[in-house]
Every structure is written in C-alpha cells, then in structure tokens.
Amino acid sequence: MTEEHFIPKTYSKTLENGSFTWSSPSNIALVKYWGKKEHQIPENPSVSFTLDYCKTTTTLSFSKKENNDTFSFDVFLENEQKDDFKPKIETFFKRIESYMPFLKDYHFKIETSNSFPHSSGIASSASGMSALALCLMSVEQSLGEVEVTEAYFNQKASFLSRLGSGSACRSIEGDVIVWGTHQEIDGSSDFFGIKYPFDVHQNFKNYQDSILLVDKGEKQVSSTVGHNLMHDHPFAERRFEQAHENMSKLISIFKTGDLDAFIKIVESEALTLHAMMMTSMPYFILMKPNTLEIINKIWAYRIETNSKVCFTLDAGANVHVLYPESEKESVMEFIKNELVTHCQNEHYISDQIGFGANQIQL
C-alpha cells in the first residue's frame, strides 16, 4: 500500500457547517519510537498499550468560508483560546492537505479538553492529534467520500494522526497497538498503527499504569528535536535493529505471559531511549534525581517482594509504573508509602490498559 491509498476520490455532498466530537486516549510505548525519516516514517517498529483514563476530548466545528486559499482555525483548551497551539496544527494541516482536500474550504473551531491536567507533563500530543484526526475523518465521511468502511475510517484516522504526531497513530483502536513494519507481523505498516494481531496472555489483561508526575514543567527538548538527533547518532543503526529484536521477543512474551522477560524488555527499552538522548550531539538528560530514586526503589521492592512491577519512561522525567492487575492493591500501597514522596506535589495518575478511541464518538 502507498500513501495514495488515502487520497479521497470524490466527495458527493456539500456541507455548509457542522460539528463532531471524539474522545481519544493516550498510549504508553513498550518498544519505543525514537528516530524518524521524512514524512513521519518511523525508523523502527514500536508497540504500545492504550490507556483507559488519560484522554483528550475534541469538538471540531466547521463552517464554509468565502475564499479557500488559507487554513483558518481557532483552538481552545478548556475554553481558553490557545494561539500557541496553532503552529503545530498549521503544520499538521499542511501535512495532511492532500489527503483531506476540503481543509481550506472551512473555518474550524477546535475545542479540546484533557482528562488529565495539561500542566502534568503528560504528553497530550498522542491523544490530542488522534482526537482531531478522528473528527476530520467524520467530516470527510459526511462529505460522502466513497469507500468509507469502518476499517478504512480507522486506518486513515491513524494515518492522519501519524502526520500530526508519530505516537498518535497508536491511539486509534485496540488495546495493544503496533506501528512500523516488522517482518513477523503481517499487516504492520510504517504508515499507520494496527491492532496487535497475535495472542495476548491473561497476565496482561487490565495491566496497570500509575504515572508518577516527577516534573510537570515544559519539556526542555521537544520530541521532534530529539527524534532528529537520531540522524548521525553513533548508535542509531544498532538501536533500530534492537527495537526489531525486542519486538520479536515481545511476541512470544505476550503469548506465554512471562512477566520476568516482559520486565527486562520494557525497562531496557526505557533506559535505551534515555541513553540515546544522553549520547546524541548535543546530548541532554530528561531524567531528574527523583526519576532515579523511583527506579531504584522499584528495583529494591522487586527483590524484597518478588513483585512483577516495572517502569517505563517517555521523553521526560515522569515514571510510568507498570504492574499486573493481580498486584493492584499491594503496588498501590507501595506507591503511596514510598514513591509519591518523589512526585511533584505528590501527584500521580492511576490508569490501566484500555481499548481505544473508536468506540467513543460523542
């Protein structure tokens, strides 16, 4: 399949105005996407759990405008106009214009809100861009694009989301999502995320993710800058191969439910991501002293109790604490007694694996 597949053929209807609302989740990667080529093509495959609680809800209202030579839109977050979000959305619109040729015909009002505090340092680009992409798909569908099956709708929503923010393409449907071509996963694609197609053991059902908010500040280095530093990175090629290898290992881990093996892959991926940041030029460190305190306490707790709790990290200082549902009570106790003290204002968010956005058109 090529990108042409997503260029619409004809629109059979005209629409003066309308509005659609979608809610879309965040996701947490187990094998990380870090490094991309032109057009948001990932350097390696990644796989993520979809989150259940951390979501963005977006209402897209549109009205036909006189001229069609520019993009025209306003953005609101929790009812407050946010002009600083506009450049990212303008870039998104430019990237997707050939796939959504109606974009310049309308003025859009984008009203968005998050289930988690915006200032929490939790990346909202995955849930935000995927919610907006789903709204745009609804507009396209009501313009009467032929061939809009549910499968095509979701695939194109993921394709568009990727052009907004790479990780956003893993937020469209399903609980475990793969993005990026992998030789053992039929149907995997660099263009969009797919539902993980193989068995996932009961051990991973309702897997828990408590997000410990170590640092709620703005990221010092944006993901886009970080990805670009993988060009000419001395360890890049080996890292991309390793991601393929880790995906292969996860396929059998998901099947057998081997949590010790799962922990090794997930923690190694998190530390490798940060190792890539520390060894790029310029180099940078996003972990904070409290990130390391938490990691060390998780390791000590695991030795003491034989727990299967582990951690992963995004491009920031916050720690995602992952654990099976069967350990929910004991690990929550551990978090409250020993880890929250390392969080900014003792803040954390408890989430778990969920099923994604496509169920929720509001």
Q: Which is nearer to ligand DP6, 29 or 309 (CB)?
A: 29
Helix (H, G, I), strand (E, B) or coil at 337: helix
Least CB distance from residue 163 to ligand DP6, whole Å? 9
At 128, list the tokens. Answer: 């935000």
Nearer to ligand DP6, 36 or 156 (CB): 36
DSSP, collapsed to helix, strand or coil, labels residue 64 as strand
Q: Which is nearer to ligand DP6, 134 or 143 (CB)?
A: 134
With respect to ligand DP6, which residue has the nearer C-beta, 3 or 346? Answer: 3
The minimum distance between CB 149 and ligand DP6, in angstroms, equals: 27
Considering the complex, what minimum distance in angstroms separates the CB of residue 4 from ligand DP6? 22
d(CA 207, CA 174): 14
Q: Cβ 16 to ligand DP6, closest distance in Å?
A: 33
Please confirm whether the linkage preceding 282 is cis (ω < 30° from 0): yes
CB 105, min distance to ligand DP6, A:
27
Query: In the complex with ligand DP6, which residue's Cβ is closer, 77 or 276?
Result: 276
In contact, 125 and 227? CB cutoff 8 Å: no
Closer by beta carbon to ligand DP6, 34 or else 192: 34
Between 129 and 139, CB nearer to ligand DP6: 129
Binding site for ligand DP6 (CB under 6 A): 29, 32-34, 40, 46, 123, 125, 165-167, 223-224, 227, 273, 314-315
Query: Do the Cβ atoms of 362 and 112 come closer than 8 Å?
Result: no
Residue 60 tokens read as 């897209």
Write down the least CB distance from residue 234 to ligand DP6, Å: 19
Residue nearest to ligand DP6 (CB): 166
Q: Which helix (H) or strand (E) holds 173?
A: none
Q: Which is nearer to ligand DP6, 143 or 212 (CB)?
A: 212
Nearer to ligand DP6, 9 or 282 (CB): 282
Q: Closest by alpha carbon to 220, among 124, 123, 316?
A: 316
Dig out the tokens for 343 from the structure: 């969080």
Q: Which among 96, 111, 125 is positioned nearest to 7, based on CA atoms?
A: 96
Instruction: Tell me the closest approach of the beta carbon of residue 317 to ligand DP6, in angstroms.
Output: 12
Smallest separation (angstroms) from ligand DP6 to the CB of 165 = 3
CA distance 155 to 33: 19
| DSSP symbols for 249-285 | HHHHHHHHT-HHHHHHHHHHHHHHHHHHHHTSSS---
Burial class (CB within 10 angstroms; exposed 0-12, middle 13-18, buried 19+) of 1: exposed
CA 35 to chain CA mean position, Å: 15
Please give the C-alpha separations between residue 153 and each of 49, 172, 181, in angstroms, as whole numbers. Answer: 21, 10, 20
What is the DSSP secondary-structure string of 2-23?
-GGGGS---B----SEEEEEEE
CB of 232 to ligand DP6, least distance (A): 17
Q: What residues have CB less than 8 Å from 289, skipping those under 6 apart?
A: none
